[in-house]
Structure 1
Amino acid sequence: MANKITYKTLQAKKNVEQIVCITAYDALFASIFDKHVDLILIGDSLNMSFNNESDTLTIGMDEMIYHSKAVCRGANRAYIVGDMPFGSYHSIEDALKNATRFYKETKVDAIKLEGGKEVAHIIKAIVDSGIAVVGHVGLKPQMARSEGGFHVQGRDEASIERVFNDALEVEKAGAIALVLEGTISSLAKDLQRELKIPLIGIGAGNVCDGQILVWSDAFGFFTNFKPKFVRRFLNGAELVEGALKKYVDSVKTKDFPGDEETYL
């Protein structure tokens, strides 16, 4: 725990060193990632990548708490952030109840919620209660169903102004960092210069203070579709399937278990 990353660690990296972030949903992968990344997010994206849902809306607090507990058991170095699911912060009362539950039942360092000006008062209330908050503006996955899909933000002046002002409101409300998703890179560049808190990009170009990807996207396990901003650093699904075929063949031919795997 001597090298535990805190929000002060992240803040010190702004304009100095890129912040590396990734999602995790269980203790096994969290323990692998923990040695190498600065921040681990238990994202509600697991509803799509692992529950095979079309969006993030149907996951609830119980599931997010369950996965957050697992990640916190697997990681003890990285800064850990848990996503507040859709419907858990529509009012200050609900937001405080659910954010407090996150802090009491898990060991997350912060919670993350989506929205700008419209949730700034909620962010402030959570921060004032002693809970760290990471904001999320730009493309907001929890709004995908009502907005008819996942759309890049900043394609026109009105969108640029809205996202820019949302980011400033989230910072003013007390967020310790901000995720910027699905925006044109020039907007991200302007925000990185303007904001005093770290700006973490996903689909916002390389001008942010750091980057985050969903791990199953980055390592090729989720193959239903591939967003433009994703780079696959591993063909994980192919590798696992290849290994599985070897296992199946070994069992069918009685090559496994062999003498070395048998108690004699």
Structure 2
Amino acid sequence: MKKLIINADDFGYSRAVNYGIVDAHTEGILTSTTLMTNMPAAEQAFKLGKQHKTLGIGVHLTLTCGRPLLDTHHTLVDAKGDFKKNAQYQQKFHIDPDELYKEWKAQIEKFLSSGLVPTHLDSHHHVNNLEPMLPVFKDLAQEYNLPVRNNFEQDKDDNLITTDYFQYEPDILLADNDKIIKHFGDAETVEIMCHPAYIDKALMGGSTYVTPRLEELDALTDARIKEKFLGDTRFQLITYGDLSREGSLQ
């Protein structure tokens, strides 16, 4: 049996993103999401999370979007105090790991202060798997005893909980079930990343990935897609909260 976590990134980005993610869960096959605690719609996302208790919600650690929660940084921000853009981290760069630890810890603590219990950790734009950021990410995962997205090479000594496989592209959901089974091979637990959303001004002005989110929302709530997974006993839809340590390490 393939245990699938279908996870939407960017909960909290904007109201339209929030509503799209909730609809993908209540009307479709989305099981999980991760929340950007530094973004303007985070408070609304907290409220929606409390209303939809079957939706697994983790922390989407942020370094490349919006403003940090702390105002004491100088290596993570631009002259206006905003986080530097993703392109900043594509070539040679410098960050203070202590600044990063304090900021990401503040983001986790803000999540906890909402009263919600996080299911796992991942990061916006996958910055957690960059060499200077990865040790900080691992330390926080261990400190809070949280599962992580399987988007970096792990050592068994890390003792991290994760899935057997991570699927970057959600298009696989449209494939024939037999092809999906073959694609995931021996993996028993799989996360499929997606970005469903409605569109509002905040998303249009802030993201380079906009219209495809509507297509993903449509696929996740399509009646045929729902039947394809819910009607096939070879699949089980789960959240990160359902993972156990046994058999979860790479």
TM-score, with structure 2 as normaliser = 0.41
TM-score, with structure 1 as normaliser = 0.40
The structure with the larger Rg is 1
